[in-house]
Structure 1
Amino acid sequence: MTTDHAALAAHYVEHGYVLVKGLLSTAEAAEYRRSAHEVLALAASGGDPTWDSAAGLAGGAPTRLRHLHDVQFHSAAFSRLLVDERFTSVAAAVLGGPDVQLHHTKLFVKPPENGSPFPPHQDHPFFPHTSHRVGAAIFHLDDAPVERGCVRIVPGSHRSGPLEHVEEGGYHLPDVPFDAAVPLPAEAGDVLFFSYLTIHSSGVNTSQEDRTTWLVQFRDPADRPAVRAHDDSLGQGMMLAGIDPTGRRTV
């Protein structure tokens, strides 16, 4: 795959996101999917990562979501993917520098028929940083059309800076309707990069197939956290590309 990193970075800076098509081959995505589901069958996952908001977006109907933090500590394949240059080179480009540091990872599977949605939100409130040089990458390990509850983005919303969220009825942005976000259908192997200030959400999986994704949150190591958060995330502070110019590993 030939990648124009400057073009990808320019799109990210302007719109707050960039969808990189075919970063992984279809065969690679299928193998990571196999490994992900194997790990999920063995590992316990708890809590509601949708902040109890799923029922509201699904019209009150019960929904389901399988998830696991730090899958790279369960599967060596994901450890290798964290430092795959195809990924880290784009992460560095969108951050605007050579150094990329891991914050945390999450594996998500939206089951068929009622896989949980997420309400419109920014990631910033969960782990705010001083200079906002924090990004996310969603690896699509299955095809993610609209009916499977694909990610939705509000283009350019990162330029508004941190916004106030409310917790009532699920942690979300009360003034941003679900339909304000543009759906971004993706294919297995595509990777969506976006700023932690970009408003995003996802719909209910109403299809007959799983939707499997892996979320990697990363940052410029020179950007200091404003508060301590996700301290229990295994591997936080691991360098994925370059060096840590601060000499510290974590907060």
Structure 2
Amino acid sequence: MTEPLSPDDLATYHENGFLLVKNLISKQEARAMREECHALAARLNSDVDATWASARAIAGTPAARTALKHAHDTQFHSAAFARLLVDPRFTDVAAALLGGPNVQLHHTKMFIKPPETGSPFPLHQDHPFFPHAKHTVAAAVFHFDDAPEENGCIRAVPGSHRNGPLPHIEGGSWHLPPDTWRIQDAQACPAEAGDVLFFTYLTVHGSGLNTSSEARTTWLVQFRDPQDRPTADEHTWSLGQGMMLRGIDPSARRTDGTDEPR
């Protein structure tokens, strides 16, 4: 059986805290998933803008005109997302990065950065939103559009995960001090439709403003080792959390949001 990642890939991930996996799904599949995302946004018909208040406060951000469409728990809106969640092409890579056979879902989220006005994200770690005891939580960002730098691609700071949890500022959402953690100093991670960017929840990352004429459509999957448990109540529960994407849950915990054994 062919391993989903090479030793060099794994070394890069553990060294940098992130890894771009090219062509994990085909461009045709990415195009179909893009249509699912935009159709979902139209069905929800929500005026809620997911832009962080902290993003609007950063100097140089056109505060009045940026926007960001989003939806949580997408697999409960369309079966296409549910199928991709358990696709072995994804789950085998996730397991390889976790270093074990079992992969458990934390949550999913769709993001659409509109053309010319797509909101940025200040540099941050995901850790403050849902801290865990063993720090196994990681993210997979599926790109359903091409994401060059001008499209507001993700930026990450190589090796930042080795610093452990960092103190964050809460200003509409958790973020790092923008005067010392500047988005332009982080490494750009441009991607093409079908690519998936994986990173640990301790990796410092963010994204720039979408100044292009095309939308940037991505799908975020946060996953973990099932034996890693939350250490705080902040943002720790979401619809679908605890679903096994690969393997088993050796702890056999309840599925109602509690940590009590059965």
**1:232 offset after TM fit, Å?**
4.9
**1:170 offset after TM fit, Å?**
5.2
Question: Hey, what does 1:138 align to over in structure 2?
Answer: 141
Residue identity opposite 1:117 in structure 2: P
Q: How many residues align?
A: 251
**1:229 offset after TM fit, Å?**
3.8
CA deviations over 1:54-109 (Å, ceiling 9, x no partner): 32341444200000001111110100000000000010111111110000011000
**Whole-angstrom distance in 2 between the partners of 1:236 and 1:23:** 24
Question: Hey, what does 2:174 align to over in structure 1?
Answer: 171
**Whole-angstrom distance in 2 between the partners of 1:44 and 1:230:** 24
**1:113 offset after TM fit, Å?**
0.7
Question: Hey, what does 2:84 align to over in structure 1?
Answer: 81
Question: Hey, what does 1:29 align to over in structure 2?
Answer: 30
Q: Secondary structure at the match of 1:53?
A: helix
**Whole-angstrom distance in 2 between the partners of 1:232 and 1:40:** 23
**1:179 offset after TM fit, Å?**
1.8
**1:14 offset after TM fit, Å?**
1.0
Q: Percent identity?
A: 61
Is 1:103 the equivalent of 2:106? yes
Matches within 5 A, 1:84-233: 84-168=87-171, 171-174=174-177, 175-230=180-235, 232-233=237-238
Residue identity opposite 1:216 in structure 2: V
Say what the alpha-carbon RMSD is for the aligned residues.
1.8
Residue identity opposite 1:96 in structure 2: G
User: TM-score scaled to structure 2, two decimals?
Assistant: 0.90
Residue identity opposite 1:32 in structure 2: M
User: TM-score scaled to structure 1, two decimals?
Assistant: 0.94
Q: Is the 8 A contact 1:64 1:116 kept in 2?
A: yes
CA deviations over 1:152-200 (Å, ceiling 9, x no partner): 0000000000000012475311131222211110000000000000000
Distance change in 2, residues 1:169/1:240 (3 Å)? closer
Q: Secondary structure at the match of 1:247?
A: coil
**1:112 offset after TM fit, Å?**
0.4
Deviates more, 1:37-46 or 1:79-88: 37-46
Q: Give ranges in structure 2 of 5+ residues lacking alignment.
A: none
Which of 26, 45, 62 is the equivalent residue of 2:65?
62
Q: Secondary structure at the match of 1:246?
A: coil
**Whole-angstrom distance in 1 between the partners of 2:133 and 2:213:** 42
CA deviations over 1:220-239 (Å, ceiling 9, x no partner): 01111101343552110000
